[in-house]
């Protein structure tokens, strides 16, 4: 069999496996720290100073991570399992903390150097992550890791990571290049083809209903799983040092006002230029609707024009899609070369909970919906969608995958352009089952790991509702779910820094939840097509 002539999904599958093998081979692994560590606590001018020091080769004490100064309150929320301030504040001798199992890793991609440092305090793991720009910054902030970075710089591991990230990003750029014109032409053609506003209204209602029901099912599955597995109990506390937290302080109201602003562009041309999905969708829908009501001659000319525009964009997209195996290979290589096996071990129960919940949703709940609501064979549908699903998995971006999702749904699964052009672009922005489920699991995991935090039914309901809203607000780009998590954490009063502990494994979970996001959007097409046909 000539691998270059094989069906696209077979090619992508091989690319995925080969990329994973290459990446695993070039994974630089983690460095263990054997030396004695002094972890000291001081109380100075009303602040707790937390310093983690090691003796270097010359016998000097050097800071392993930058020292942090915290208020008494920050100290107690960030380090709930360290000795209470009152117990040592007045004593001459600050407490000694036993630190065991220490390891760290450095990964450089095309844009930055990622530092991840893990250790156990009093038997509990702690992870610090930070993104730095230059080797000099490592020498200044993490002097003990600088030597390792010097040898890493000239290694094949680094080259493979940088090259695969660069090639993967080029593929993603190509996909993004066609996304906006494809959405616009596809939506306008689709809506103009619907014929009237009433049919649009019915489709709109059914689509939103589908988004809501499936997202809530996903969240419920996630919450049940966390309560069953309880991955956070006795596990982890937030990292020390300069923990990177994603997401700013944003209120729910702010996010929703922002969404409404986003939905009605004051300048549609600017919206197109900035790639604001929601604005573009609203404008294109209205444009399509008013084509229908325009005079016969204009209507024909416009419909013809956008149909041709759409055909050309489809041709261009199909061409780029042939490059998908290369893009997927690059992304998989990058993903496996840059993730750490031991860090996964540290957060294994948490990751397992997310995986299992996603699996139940994608492999049990969605197929049931496909079979009984849409009347489709789930297996055949998944096969038709496989190029899109595998691309979503490797790129972790539903927006980026959109051109592939559209072509797979229309050309392989035979869904009409009217439905797919409406359900998919809107779904890529607001229907994210995987992300919604992930938000719920991650926040409840953090809550379980935070000692003394009450996990009542009320709290879980708040988590469910805010997780839904956060998933609606999240953009279809890598790590968007992590950014939006700030909203859910805030809603139940958990510290934002708590995210520090899960950032280290976010990429892998992002890949899985993005696949579920795209899968749910695609199933939505089959469901909406069936429901609107019968009405």
216/214 Cα distance (integer angstroms) = 5
Q: Note whether 405 binds ligand ASP by CB under 6 A.
A: no
Query: Over the range 179-199, which residues count as b (16 or more CB within 10 Å of their CB) and which as e?
Result: bbbbbbbbbbbbbbbbeeeee
Smallest distance, ligand ASP to C-beta of residue 144, A: 33
Q: Note whether 435 binds ligand ASP by CB under 6 A.
A: yes
Identity of the residue, 139 or 508, whose beta carbon is nearer to ligand ASP in the bound complex = 508
- Residue entry with tokens 């790129």: 395
353, 397, 405, 532: which one binds ligand ASP (CB under 6 A):
397
Identity of the residue, 99 or 512, whose beta carbon is nearer to ligand ASP in the bound complex = 512
365, 477, 523, 531: which one binds ligand ASP (CB under 6 A):
477
Q: Note whether 478 binds ligand ASP by CB under 6 A.
A: yes
- Alpha helices per DSSP H over 450-505: 457-473, 480-491, 500-503
Q: Note whether 517 binds ligand ASP by CB under 6 A.
A: yes
Q: Could you tell me the two tokens for 404?
A: 């592939």
398, 405, 412, 431: which one binds ligand ASP (CB under 6 A):
398
Identity of the residue, 152 or 393, whose beta carbon is nearer to ligand ASP in the bound complex = 393
Q: Indicate the SS3 state at residue 451.
A: coil
Identity of the residue, 303 or 514, whose beta carbon is nearer to ligand ASP in the bound complex = 514
Sheet holding 99-108, edge to edge: 31-33, 99-108, 113-121, 124-132
- Please return the burial class of 204, using the count of CB atoms within 10 Å of its CB with bins 0-12, 13-18 and 19+: middle
Q: Note whether 396 binds ligand ASP by CB under 6 A.
A: yes
125, 476, 500, 524: which one binds ligand ASP (CB under 6 A):
476
Residue 506 Cα distances to 80, 269, 499, 501, 520, angstroms: 24, 35, 10, 10, 21
Binding marks (x or -) toward ligand ASP, 173..212, rule CB under 6 A? Answer: ----------------------------------------
Identity of the residue, 64 or 396, whose beta carbon is nearer to ligand ASP in the bound complex = 396
Q: Indicate the SS3 state at residue 35.
A: coil
User: With CB under 6 A as the contact rule, which of the stretches 61-69, 145-153, 329-337, 509-517 interacts with ligand ASP?
Assistant: 509-517
Q: Could you tell me the two tokens for 513?
A: 């939840």
CB 35 within 8 A of CB 54: yes
Identity of the residue, 247 or 495, whose beta carbon is nearer to ligand ASP in the bound complex = 247
Handedness of CA 292, 192, 531, 427 (dihedral sign): negative
Identity of the residue, 212 or 287, whose beta carbon is nearer to ligand ASP in the bound complex = 212
Smallest distance, ligand ASP to C-beta of residue 298, A: 38
458/525 Cα distance (integer angstroms) = 34
User: With CB under 6 A as the contact rule, which of the stretches 61-69, 123-131, 460-468, 507-515 interacts with ligand ASP?
Assistant: 507-515
Identity of the residue, 108 or 510, whose beta carbon is nearer to ligand ASP in the bound complex = 510
190, 327, 427, 481: which one binds ligand ASP (CB under 6 A):
481
479, 495, 507, 508: which one binds ligand ASP (CB under 6 A):
479
Residue 83 Cα distances to 42, 53, 96, 375, 497, angstroms: 12, 18, 10, 60, 19
258/173 Cα distance (integer angstroms) = 26
E strand intervals along 95-151? 99-108, 113-121, 124-132
Identity of the residue, 191 or 469, whose beta carbon is nearer to ligand ASP in the bound complex = 469
Q: Note whether 16 binds ligand ASP by CB under 6 A.
A: no
**Which chain residues interact with ligand ASP by CB under 6 A?**
396-398, 432, 435, 474, 476-481, 510, 513-514, 517
């Amino acid at each position: 069999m000539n691998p270059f002539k094989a069906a696209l999904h077979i090619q992508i599958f091989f690319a995925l496996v080969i990329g994973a093998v290459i990446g695993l081979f070039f994974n630089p692994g983690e460095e263990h720290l054997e030396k004695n560590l002094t972890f000291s606590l001081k109380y100075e001018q009303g602040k707790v100073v937390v310093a983690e020091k090691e003796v270097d080769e010359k016998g000097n004490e050097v800071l392993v991570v930058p020292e942090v100064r915290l208020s008494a309150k920050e100290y107690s929320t960030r380090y709930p399992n360290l000795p209470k301030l009152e117990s040592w504040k007045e004593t001459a001798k600050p407490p000694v903390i036993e630190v065991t199992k220490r390891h760290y890793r450095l990964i450089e991609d095309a844009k930055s150097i990622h530092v991840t440092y893990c250790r156990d305090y009093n038997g509990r793991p702690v992870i610090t992550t930070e993104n730095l720009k230059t080797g000099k910054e490592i020498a200044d902030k993490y002097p003990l890791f600088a030597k390792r970075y010097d040898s890493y710089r000239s290694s094949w591991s680094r080259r493979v990571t940088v090259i695969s990230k660069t090639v993967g990003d080029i593929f993603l750029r190509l996909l993004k290049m066609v996304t906006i014109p494809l959405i616009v032409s596809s939506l306008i053609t689709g809506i103009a083809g619907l014929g009237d506003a009433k049919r649009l209204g019915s489709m709109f209602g059914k689509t939103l209903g589908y988004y809501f029901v499936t997202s809530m099912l996903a969240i419920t599955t996630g919450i049940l799983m966390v309560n069953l597995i309880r991955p956070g109990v006795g596990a982890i506390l937030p990292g020390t040092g300069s923990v990177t937290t994603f997401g700013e302080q944003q209120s729910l109201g702010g996010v929703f006002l922002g969404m409404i602003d986003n939905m009605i562009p004051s300048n549609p041309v600017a919206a197109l230029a900035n790639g604001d999905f929601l604005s573009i969708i609203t404008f294109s829908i209205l444009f399509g609707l008013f084509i229908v009501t325009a005079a016969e001659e204009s209507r024909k000319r416009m419909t013809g024009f956008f149909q041709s525009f759409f055909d050309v964009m489809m041709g261009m997209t199909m061409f780029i899609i042939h490059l998908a195996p290369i893009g997927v290979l690059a992304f998989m290589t990058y993903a496996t070369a840059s993730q750490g096996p031991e860090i996964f071990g540290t957060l294994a129960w948490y990751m397992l909970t997310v995986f299992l919940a996603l699996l139940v949703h994608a492999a049990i709940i969605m197929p049931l919906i496909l079979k009984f609501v849409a009347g489709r064979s789930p297996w055949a549908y998944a096969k038709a969608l496989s190029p899109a699903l595998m691309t979503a998995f490797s790129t972790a971006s539903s927006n980026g995958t959109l051109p592939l999702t559209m072509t797979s749904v229309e050309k392989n699964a035979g869904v009409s352009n009217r439905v797919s052009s409406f359900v998919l672009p809107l779904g890529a922005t607001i229907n994210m089952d995987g992300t919604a489920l992930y938000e719920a699991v991650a926040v409840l995991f953090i809550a379980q790991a935070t000692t003394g935090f009450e996990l009542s039914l009320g709290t879980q309901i708040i988590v469910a509702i805010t997780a839904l809203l956060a998933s609606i607000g999240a953009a279809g780009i890598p790590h968007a779910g992590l950014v939006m998590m700030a909203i859910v954490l805030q809603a139940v009063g958990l510290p934002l820094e708590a995210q520090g502990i899960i950032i280290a494994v976010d990429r892998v979970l992002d890949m899985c939840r993005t696949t579920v996001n795209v899968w749910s959007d695609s199933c939505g097409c089959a469901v909406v097509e069936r429901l609107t046909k019968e009405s």
